[in-house]
Structure 1
Amino acid sequence: MARYSNELKTGFKNYILEDSTYKGGGRKITMPKGVEVHKLSSNENPLGCSSQVKRAIEDALKDISIYPDNTDIRLREALSRDFGNQLTEDYFVTANSGSEIIDIISKVFLSEGDEVIVSQPCFLPYTAFTRWMGASAINVPMTKDYDYDLDAILEAITGRTKLVFLASPNNPSGNYIPFDELSRFLERVPKNVIVVYDEVYRHFAEAKDYTSALPFVQKGYNIIAINSFSKTYGLAGLRVGYCYAPLEISNYIRKVCKPFLLSSPALEGAIAALDDMDFVQRTVDLISKERRFVLKGLTNLGIKFWSTQGNFVLIDPPIGDLDFTQFLQDKGIMVRPVGNFGAPGKVRISFGTRPANEAMLEAIKDLLNS
């Protein structure tokens, strides 16, 4: 058996054998009776999901023995309506999560020897999925204030560059790219390079000069906007994501989409989620309120953090990141060290409900007083 295994391994690709597995924020821990657990490690929706979504999923389960829709056209039509019919359904591509959208983009645009540009700290799949295609991820680090160095990114583009990954708001730093800066950047990007613009957290951005990719897609720039139903809509467990891009790009990406790609519960749940704007607004309002509350609390405690437009905040903990994470976990508070995102020593904390946020701040206070 070992002989065959060794012979088989000669066909394995070395760049896939490298350890690049994405590790999520972990499942909810179990604590002793009477200790409540607050999961603030995965940027999940603290309100759960819409009751309309739950009803749609329950209805879908009645016919679970039947194949789902062969295509995603109904969801793409719903997305078009959600965008105020500013884009037709053909501009959209859907998949099983925003991460799979990144994977698909990597597959259709990257080959061995190609390069992509990332700016760390960033979402790990940008680099991991690039490596799986035999391409190289070139890191153009963010500034010390966790802003993109767009001029340095332009300078790093070579003849091998195929993709540039940007995120606004960025995970885990929470920074964003103002409209004017993104506009100037796109004007200077070579026409054969595609900008992958991760806007998963766009609903939470309040900055007046924040922008989605929509106006740039409408103008025909080479930009692909990644979105997910995991955050704002509270459907992390369903795994639904999408992107939108100029028609030449979206029609090309869709050529590799499989039939029956989305399950019936995922398809019906996502369509129902887009129809419940009251739930979306309640989520956005909660995050806005709790973001102000948490940042004020961190300021009062003397904890260094970075300005954020997301539903999370990046902090510089008063002790080592792993010790800090463990201290809070012992009190039932789950947070996320993000060294593997490219922010060594830093910790990301998601905004939860008021009781969760109060418990988190109280735990930090206990640490400082210990």
Structure 2
Amino acid sequence: MSKEIESIFKSYLQPKKAYEGGKGIPSKGEKKIYKLSSNENPLGQSPKATSALINAAKNIHIYPDQTDIRLRKALVRDFDEQLAEDQFICGNSGSEIIDMILRAFVNEDDEVIFSNPCFLPYSVFSRWYGAEQIDVALREPDYSLDVEGILAAINNRTKIIFLTSPNNPTGTYIPEALMNDFLSRIPKNIIIVLDEVYRHFADAEDFVSGLPYVKKGHNIIAVNSFSKTYGLAGQRIGYCYTTLKIAQYIRQIHKPFLLPHTSTEAAIGALSDIEFIQKTVQTVLDGRKFLSQAFDRLGIKYWPTQANFFLVDPPLPEFEFTDFLMQQGVMVRPVSQFGAPGKVRITIGDSEANEALIQALEKM
């Protein structure tokens, strides 16, 4: 490559380690593999979503809806009419929504704050727009939010603060009292991006979503996904909700024909399948109880979780641990890349997958 062309490359886009998604199930071999590495729905997808997807496939030769309005109307119903349709923005996955937010608000040399361990795209995507990334790490050993540390890091270049509740990969959450205190002390010109894609699995009495804060007018953008509870990871569809003013601003960069017809129909179908949603949540809650009891029995160190996965401190070096489990037919994920060196994330599966995991750990 010539030096001349390199001279126009943006300095902050020079090669660095990129985000690596979870691995797929190996295609070779007859042994069954239980994939507990990507936080996917243990039950598959909603039958209503499947039916809607099949019907939509008959018309894939036609351009999809120009806007996301039909899905936004479905979301209004899902939120019991507490928000207006213009307060929702839909996109190709929760990651796409995060990218859109950064594109709308962040300029070169602005600052973005996040708290490791966390979802790596907060950092990677911020770099795409030349932002300086400020990591105010979660407090150990319980991985709680360092409110004072974040407040001390804020300056006139701070544009966005990422919060996650429940957090990936730790499974921890931000209690309502802590969230209230934090928001009361944040300058009014800063955007809070609250990643709440695992909110359906949170059952703590003091868990709080972004909804009450958006209704009160806080500068919060709550990011959600159809990949977890609804089982549509392969359709890559997500959404956010926020105040009307912020949503109208972001919508200016919303591309026409952004959502595939099949994804839109599958998402609308999934939202309507209350029975499947409830079954999914109950499966995760039951699996969470089963695995925590088994981890206690086996002496596996883990963090209490409000999500559909556990963060564990394995009894072997992380890659030895994951390789051993893979040999037993169980895929789990090391999360050093997420800012948790030496730790491993294990998705809660159905009862068969959970049993297979425990049997593998007993062999270890």
Task: Compute the TM-score of the two structures, normalised by the length of structure 1.
Answer: 0.97
Aligned ranges for residues 243-322 of structure 1 at < 5 Å? 243-322=240-319
Hey, what does 2:67 align to over in structure 1?
Answer: 71
166, 172, 176: which is aligned to 1:179? Answer: 176
Hey, what does 1:131 align to over in structure 2?
Answer: 127
- Contact conserved, 1:39 with 1:333, CA < 8 A, in 2? yes
Per mean C-alpha deviation after superposition, the further-off stretch among 103-112 and 7-16 is 7-16
3-state secondary structure, aligned to 1:221 = coil
Aligned ranges for residues 73-88 of structure 1 at < 5 Å? 73-88=69-84
TM-fit CA distance, 1:181 = 1.1
TM-fit CA distance, 1:30 = 3.9
TM-fit CA distance, 1:199 = 0.3
Rounded to whole Å, the distance in 2 between the matches of 1:167 and 1:226 is 9
3-state secondary structure, aligned to 2:253 = coil
- Contact conserved, 1:44 with 1:231, CA < 8 A, in 2? yes
335, 347, 352: which is aligned to 2:332? Answer: 335
Rounded to whole Å, the distance in 2 between the matches of 1:17 and 1:68 is 36
Alignment deviations for residues 14-43 of structure 1 (CA, whole Å, 9 cap, x no partner) = 22223242111111124632x210000000
Rounded to whole Å, the distance in 2 between the matches of 1:49 and 1:226 is 21
Hey, what does 1:61 align to over in structure 2?
Answer: 57
Alignment deviations for residues 231-270 of structure 1 (CA, whole Å, 9 cap, x no partner) = 0000000000000001111111111001100000001001
88, 95, 114: which is aligned to 2:110? Answer: 114
Hey, what does 1:105 align to over in structure 2?
Answer: 101
Rounded to whole Å, the distance in 1 between the matches of 2:26 and 2:315 is 23
Answering whether residue 237 of structure 2 is matched by residue 240 of structure 1, we say yes
- Contact conserved, 1:163 with 1:195, CA < 8 A, in 2? yes
**Equivalent AA in structure 2 for residue 38 of structure 1:** Y
Alignment deviations for residues 99-129 of structure 1 (CA, whole Å, 9 cap, x no partner) = 0000001111101100011100000000001
Hey, what does 2:204 align to over in structure 1?
Answer: 207
Rounded to whole Å, the distance in 2 between the matches of 1:104 and 1:324 is 37
Hey, what does 1:41 align to over in structure 2?
Answer: 37
Point out where structure 1 has 5 or more consecutive residues left out of the alignment: none
Rounded to whole Å, the distance in 2 between the matches of 1:137 and 1:18 is 16
TM-fit CA distance, 1:338 = 0.3
- Contact conserved, 1:31 with 1:332, CA < 8 A, in 2? no
RMSD: 0.9
Alignment deviations for residues 49-72 of structure 1 (CA, whole Å, 9 cap, x no partner) = 011111111111101100011110
Rounded to whole Å, the distance in 1 between the matches of 2:132 and 2:302 is 31
Hey, what does 2:227 align to over in structure 1?
Answer: 230
Rounded to whole Å, the distance in 1 between the matches of 2:137 and 2:252 is 34
3-state secondary structure, aligned to 1:255 = helix
- Contact conserved, 1:16 with 1:132, CA < 8 A, in 2? yes
Hey, what does 1:346 align to over in structure 2?
Answer: 343
24, 27, 34: which is aligned to 1:27? Answer: 24
Alignment deviations for residues 146-172 of structure 1 (CA, whole Å, 9 cap, x no partner) = 111112111111111100000000000
Answering whether residue 216 of structure 2 is matched by residue 219 of structure 1, we say yes
3-state secondary structure, aligned to 1:242 = strand
Hey, what does 1:161 align to over in structure 2?
Answer: 158
Hey, what does 1:11 align to over in structure 2?
Answer: 8
- Contact conserved, 1:31 with 1:37, CA < 8 A, in 2? no
Rounded to whole Å, the distance in 2 between the matches of 1:163 and 1:32 is 46
Point out where structure 2 has 5 or more consecutive residues left out of the alignment: none
344, 351, 354: which is aligned to 1:357? Answer: 354
Answering whether residue 139 of structure 2 is matched by residue 143 of structure 1, we say yes
Alignment deviations for residues 265-311 of structure 1 (CA, whole Å, 9 cap, x no partner) = 00100111111111100000000000000111111000100010000
Rounded to whole Å, the distance in 1 between the matches of 2:72 and 2:65 is 12
Alignment deviations for residues 41-99 of structure 1 (CA, whole Å, 9 cap, x no partner) = 00000100011111111111101100011110000010011000000101100000000
Rounded to whole Å, the distance in 1 between the matches of 2:65 and 2:29 is 45
Rounded to whole Å, the distance in 2 between the matches of 1:20 and 1:218 is 38
Rounded to whole Å, the distance in 2 between the matches of 1:21 and 1:75 is 31
Rounded to whole Å, the distance in 2 between the matches of 1:352 and 1:30 is 20
Structure 1 runs (4+) greater than 6 angstroms displaced: none
3-state secondary structure, aligned to 2:125 = helix
**Equivalent AA in structure 1 for residue 190 of structure 2:** V
Per mean C-alpha deviation after superposition, the further-off stretch among 90-99 and 143-152 is 143-152
Alignment deviations for residues 301-331 of structure 1 (CA, whole Å, 9 cap, x no partner) = 0010001000000000001001101111111
Rounded to whole Å, the distance in 2 between the matches of 1:301 and 1:323 is 18
Answering whether residue 47 of structure 2 is matched by residue 51 of structure 1, we say yes
Q: Name the % identity.
A: 54
- Contact conserved, 1:47 with 1:283, CA < 8 A, in 2? yes
**Equivalent AA in structure 1 for residue 207 of structure 2:** Y
